[in-house]
Amino acid sequence: MNRRDFLKTAGLTAASFLMPNVQVWAKTAATAQNQAATNKLVVVFLRGAIDGLSVVVPYGDQRYYKVRNNIAIPTPGNELGALDLNGEFGLNPALAPLMPLWKNGSLSFILNTGSPDPTRSHFDAQDYMESGCPGKKSTSTGWLNRLLAQLPDNHSPVRALNIGTTTPRILQGPVASATFKAELRRRPTAIDNEVIASSFERMYEGRGDSLERAFLDGMDARTTINNKLSGEMMQANGGAVVANRFSAFGRQLGKLMSEEPKVQVAFVDLGGFDTHVNQGNGKGQLANHLQVLGKGLSDLAASLGETYSRTTILVMSEFGRTVKENGNNGTDHGHGNFIWALGGAVKGGQLLGRWDGLSDGALYENRDLPVRTDFRSVISSVAGDHLQLSSRQLQTIFPDFTPEKVPGILKA
């Protein structure tokens, strides 16, 4: 064991001694601020523009069935029918793993949300939703990074987790994040080799400069993630079948966040939602993706354990899809969509936002769901309450924007 490993182990031990105490203390005598300091935000980005109407199905509206002959989800009670939410709307049956969360009151949807920018280009819309500055292309940082900069700096190399291989636009900026790939088998890289690692340690340690700090943080983040996940990997490998690459994200992220108290935000993105052709309904292309997503989110909720109560998960997509189906049993690029909110702090079991139905007059350009609530208002409302950010701080995260308060997302 070298010096650094020793320090790290000592640090972890100290932390694990302290942690229960902190939590007890937090529960009994928590001030809002201390509570907020440990609250967490997870952003799940669905790339390709998910069809919101196939997630939360307005089965009570006859128009829905009129404009979607081939891809509508049947009413509740029918084969592959929607799972009833409130007597008018139902959940895609592929999202069944999320029903318990709806029922226990920790899952809500905010309807008709999105970006005010009218673009229907994935490229531009994702860019705007991640930079948080619709219409302003030269914004170089992502809003999640600017948000991190407003949270108390706990000096942890894993305060921001990114699941994937590259730092996405939303996390780009001055605050470093740790990236890891959610996969069933961890492939060791060169730096995991003891001889190689110690050689580089000899070079970088004790320089007292920013290179040393980056090196140590990088090695620490790696060790933390590898250690926390090694057990989880073994478990998963027992299952033999290697499912698609997202199946592991929920469990792994949940485990890391529950065991590593300094994680403040996490980001994960999933693709494959650009369903122009053969979208399917309760089964098929989209349902297959939703199954993975629903399972991943419910695994995440479960493996977060007690931490779930202090976590808010927002699921969003760059824009919505056309209300009418197209000639290829699919849907095309639209405008408004739904944001999903999950977590112990969420006042669940609700459909929030302004819903005007599906009549032509209620639609944007007679074809798409409208945007009634700016996505930045949703984020600001959650970040303001859940992470205790002031309106001045929110201004820094979303410059040149005055958020509207979206009431009722979180428990009072």
Binding site for another protein (CB under 8 A): 119-121, 123-124, 127, 131, 137-140, 157, 165-167, 169, 172, 174, 176-179, 189-191, 195-196, 199-200, 202-204, 206-207, 210-212, 214-215, 217-219, 221-222, 274, 276-278, 285, 326-328, 332-333, 365
What gap in Å lies between CA 116 and CA 125, rounded to an integer? 10
Contact yes or no for 51/322 (Cβ under 8 A): no
Report, in Å, the least distance between residue 199 CB and another protein. 5
Report, in Å, the least distance between residue 130 CB and another protein. 9
Contact yes or no for 37/152 (Cβ under 8 A): yes
| Helix (H) / strand (E) containing 339 | strand 337-342
Q: Kindly tell me which of 58 and 173 has the beta carbon lying closer to another protein.
A: 173
Q: Kindly tell me which of 208 and 238 has the beta carbon lying closer to another protein.
A: 208
* Best CA proximity match to 254, nearest among 211, 197, 297: 297
Q: Copy the structure tokens of residue 184.
A: 């069933």
Contact yes or no for 346/409 (Cβ under 8 A): yes
Cα separations in angstroms, 39 against 43, 76, 214: 14, 36, 26
Report, in Å, the least distance between residue 287 CB and another protein. 15
Report, in Å, the least distance between residue 185 CB and another protein. 17
Report, in Å, the least distance between residue 68 CB and another protein. 15
**How many CA atoms, within 13 angstroms, populate the side-chain half-sphere of residue 274?**
10
Report, in Å, the least distance between residue 164 CB and another protein. 10
Q: Kindly tell me which of 217 and 259 has the beta carbon lying closer to another protein.
A: 217
Three-state DSSP at 151 gives: coil
Q: Kindly tell me which of 201 and 385 has the beta carbon lying closer to another protein.
A: 201
Q: Kindly tell me which of 20 and 327 has the beta carbon lying closer to another protein.
A: 327
Q: Kindly tell me which of 140 and 391 has the beta carbon lying closer to another protein.
A: 140
Report, in Å, the least distance between residue 267 CB and another protein. 13
Burial classification of residue 11, based on how many CB atoms lie within 10 Å of its CB (0-12 exposed, 13-18 middle, 19 or more buried): exposed
Q: Kindly tell me which of 101 and 266 has the beta carbon lying closer to another protein.
A: 266
What gap in Å lies between CA 379 and CA 294, rounded to an integer? 21
**Phi, psi of 114, deg, nearest 5:** 155, -165
114's CB contacts (< 8 A; 6+ apart) are 319, 320, 335, 336, 337, 371, 374, 375
Q: Kindly tell me which of 330 and 348 has the beta carbon lying closer to another protein.
A: 330
Report, in Å, the least distance between residue 240 CB and another protein. 25
Report, in Å, the least distance between residue 15 CB and another protein. 19
Report, in Å, the least distance between residue 316 CB and another protein. 18
Q: Kindly tell me which of 168 and 348 has the beta carbon lying closer to another protein.
A: 168
Cα separations in angstroms, 1 against 6, 8, 10, 234, 390: 6, 10, 12, 24, 45
Q: Kindly tell me which of 215 and 267 has the beta carbon lying closer to another protein.
A: 215
Torsion of CA 284, 357, 373, 141, to 10 degrees: 30
Which DSSP string do the residues of 81-149 spell out, in sequence order?
A: PPEESSSS-EE-GGGGGGHHHHHTT-EEEEEEEE-S-----HHHHHHHHHHT-TT-TT--S-HHHHHHH
* Best CA proximity match to 410, nearest among 384, 377, 376, 373: 384
Report, in Å, the least distance between residue 167 CB and another protein. 5
Q: Kindly tell me which of 212 and 404 has the beta carbon lying closer to another protein.
A: 212
Contact yes or no for 266/161 (Cβ under 8 A): yes
